[in-house]
Amino acid sequence: FPTSTAVLDALWDVAHETKRLDALDAHLSRLVDDALDSKTAVALLRQRGRLLEGPLSRHADAAEVYGKLLQLDPSNDEAPRKL
């Protein structure tokens, strides 16, 4: 699963350039569902929340994603600020 920041950033750039941000969101959602461990899921949820909150302007969906992030990583300092 692509979890390194460089790979996720490259996916973000390609999706933005090709105007396929919704496709990136769907892909990240599937990757979260298929994540083998919580560390991977947390990294993917962080990226998905950023996408939903930012360019897609789907704030309710972003809040749901940040809620899941907080469940997986209760010590995460970013998620509570985004809810």
**Six-digit token pair at 80?**
């509570």
CA-based torsion, 36, 37, 42, 43: positive or negative: negative
83 residues of the chain, pLDDT tens digit each: 455 778 888 999 999 999 999 999 999 999 999 998 999 899 999 999 999 999 999 999 999 999 999 999 999 888 888 87
pLDDT of res. 76: 86
pLDDT of res. 5: 77
pLDDT of res. 79: 83
pLDDT of res. 77: 85
